[in-house]
Structure 1
Amino acid sequence: IINYRYFFLYDDSEKIDFILKRNNIVANIESLLINDFNQEKKLQLIYIKVALAIIIILILIDFILKI
């Protein structure tokens, strides 16, 4: 028995499932929770935007209360 280990992106799972079923390949799934770099970058941008929005709102509230 020869064991091979491949790592694929979660986005490609449907394509991989189709290929495995078409070729009658039995595969074990070991899911490592590794996020895609692009997805991680998008989450960081959302976090920065939310943080900046909160800071701007707090500055505006402080400015209004001083008037």
Structure 2
Amino acid sequence: MSEEVLKLRSTLTCPHCGHRATETMPTNACQFFYDCKDCGAVLRPKSGDCCVYCSYGDVPCPPIQQDGGKARCG
């Protein structure tokens, strides 16, 4: 049985201006805030999400990846 490799890069898309930025996700903490590099909006997780990567990224955060979407980080 092979273990799945965690993806540590996620592309965030700002819901305000549509700017996309690929960032490295922290593996030891949730990221609750992210400043859009284009419009300056401060992104926060949507209700029910644990971090900005789970809300606005194309790859969920490492704790969620590890538990198949069942875990809650933080």
TM-score under structure 1 normalisation? 0.23
Larger radius of gyration: 1
